[in-house]
Amino acid sequence: MKTRLSLEKVLGLRGPGIVAAMRVGGRFLDTHSTKELLSHVGQTIRCVPAFRTIDKSALQDSFGGNQTGPSEDFLVGRGLFYLNERRKLFLDCTSGHYQMLWGYNNPELCAAVEAASHAGATWDNHSNIPQAPLKWLAHRLVALGNAPGEKDPLDTVLLGVCTGSVACAAALKIQLRVFEQTRGRKTVPVMIVLAGNYHGTDMLPQFMRGMWPGMTPRFELVTLEPNDAEALEKAFRKHGSRVAGFWAEPVMMNREAIALAPEYLRLAQRCCRKTGALMCVDEIQTGFWQPEVFEYRTLGLQPDLVVLGKGMTAGFHPLSGVLYRHRHDVLEQYDAISTNGSAALPAFVALASLELIRERDAHIRAMAGRIQDGFHALAAEFPARLEAAHGRGHLAGLKFREVEDAKHFQRRLLADGLWTRVHAYHAGHRTVLTKLGLLTDKTVVDFVLAGFRNLLKKGKP
């Protein structure tokens, strides 16, 4: 006898009310154009029935377990829009947690996944026996990761990891293992990183951003300010062949969307080659957000290691990886692995997403330019409140002159239905961040810019 696993049944006693609201909310999002939805942003959608939410008391405090009051949590989403459990409509200006490349439940990707599933592609399987989509994704990443005719190509991909955190840890392990093989165990390696880096939640990468003091591993850490060429050269001169690796994110979304200058990264590459260090470019934030797919390709770099994640599978089942040269394939099978790595359907989603990027090349470029130009225009128009526009392309931020102004501005955006983030939790951080999905069109970009401009015109609270 088959069990009917309906949403209502699975969600328990409160399921029917929640599912009814999801279905009506989903129909509302599906049956209204982008222009129509923008006209309702910030409003309560009253055709969606009210319901009793499920509280978060069973979750840890850091994820809202101790929150009280009306729920602001996610109800249902389509494309760039979502409804929260209070039935308020939002324009998601950050692509979820920066990973929803094509928005929520993209119909083209959902249809492709359903067709692939019916054909026999599986969500997951044992990593020792990869299915066709994963193998083809590895070949596609190698092809996209190298300039035509590259004499020393990145030709190997570690795809057995699920999250970007594990992928970053794998890249770090490769750097340290190569250092051990070439310099021996007695020499203490040095890792050069940038202040404000974010390379995942594994303990070793967290150590690289100052966490876990007193529990340090056996390597030295040198932390530099981004784009400080003089300090970079000085660090490499001082430590020379002891430098095992250099890490950089082309756009530092954990440091106010600071964009690293191309000439700074090319200098780092020259320093690495001179000393024998391995240069790692962390593309978890930037990868797949431009027609070239990888930011380092647009910047004219040839790194030794490239970390992939987030946008690669467009917010579907996560899959991450490391792209590198075969001579650096120094890890054993279980040195860096996730149970859900090497999953076939996520790899298929990545391949499908690559097709969408290829087909929409011109549109993606145009919107990236429109976002970037628009943010710089705002910084120029309101110099008394804005210090600078940060980021590149779809990854954009506005740095305010005062931290309280930045925080209040972001709260006002939320009240108006614009979901953004604000970096204000470290000294000197005062930047409102956005990362509009690749579905973004001229109407959406202009709506966001107009919303920012209107609030800036109103002045400080």
**For residue 193, is it left (φ>0), alpha (ψ between -120 and 50) or beta?**
beta
CATH number at residue 304: 3.40.640.10
Helices assigned H by DSSP within 185-308:
203-207, 229-239, 262-275, 295-298
**Per-residue pLDDT, 208:** 86
Q: Please indicate, yes or no, whether residues 121 and 246 belong to a single structural domain of this protein.
A: yes
Of 359, 384, 408, the one marking the end of a domain is 359
Do 148 and 257 belong together in one domain?
A: yes
Query: What share of the chain in percent tops pLDDT 90?
Result: 84
Beta strands in 283-414 (DSSP E): 305-308, 320-324, 386-392, 395-400
- Residue 120 has which token pair? 């026999």
What does the pLDDT look like over 247-280, one tens digit per residue?
999 999 999 999 999 999 999 999 999 999 999 9
Q: Residue 325 corresponds to which tokens in the numbers above?
A: 């040269």
Residues 118 and 82 in one domain: no
Question: Is 456 a domain residue?
Answer: no
Residue 339 included in any domain: yes
Kindly state whether residues 72 and 177 are assigned to the same domain: no
Residues 170 and 214 in one domain: yes
The terminus-to-terminus CA distance of the chain in angstroms comes to: 63
Residue 100: the pLDDT is 96
Q: How far is CA 397 from the centre of its chain?
A: 14
pTM assigned to the model? 0.95
Q: For residue 2, what pLDDT is reported? A: 61
What dihedral angle (degrees, nearest 10) is formed by the CA atoms of 328, 330, 331, 332? 140
| pLDDT surpassing 80 at residue 198 | yes
The whole-angstrom separation of Cα 413 and Cα 264 is 34
In a domain, 454, yes or no: no
Indicate the pLDDT class of residue 35, thresholds 50, 70 and 90.
very high
Give the separation between CA 332 and CA 207, rounded to whole angstroms.
23
* pLDDT of the residue at 213: 81
Q: Is the pLDDT of residue 218 over 90?
A: no
Could you tell me the two tokens for 145? 């990761």
CA atoms of 326 and 154, how far apart (whole Å): 7
Distance of CA 438 to the CA centre of its chain: 13
Within-domain flag for 84: yes
Q: Are residues 67 and 118 in the same domain?
A: no
Task: Tell me the pLDDT band of 3, cut-offs 50, 70 and 90.
Answer: low
Pairwise CA distance, residues 36 & 356, whole Å: 25
Please indicate whether residue 452 or residue 10 has the higher confidence score (pLDDT): 452
Q: Where are the beta strands (DSSP E) in 93-242?
A: 156-161, 190-194, 220-224
**Does one domain contain both 170 and 255?**
yes
- Confidence tier at 441 by pLDDT (50, 70, 90): very high
| pLDDT, average across residues 124-145 | 95
Say whether both 23 and 142 belong to one domain: no
How large is the average pLDDT for residues 97-125?
Answer: 96
- The residue from 42, 75, 90 where one domain ends is 90
For residue 296, the model assigns a pLDDT of 98
In tens, the pLDDT along 348-405 reads 999 999 999 999 999 999 999 999 999 999 999 999 999 999 999 999 999 999 999 9
Residue 60, pLDDT > 70, answer yes
Which of 317, 340, 359 terminates a domain? The answer is 359
Question: Where in the sequence is the domain holding 15, given as residue range(s)?
Answer: 1-90
pLDDT above 60: residue 1: no
Judge if 174 and 245 occupy the same domain: yes
* Candidate from 91-100, 190-199, 208-217, 241-250 with smallest mean pLDDT: 208-217
Helix axis angle for 403-415 and 442-458, nearest 10°, is 130
Contact 84/92 with Cβ under 8 angstroms?
A: no
Residue 455 has a pLDDT of: 97
More confident residue, 158 or 333: 158
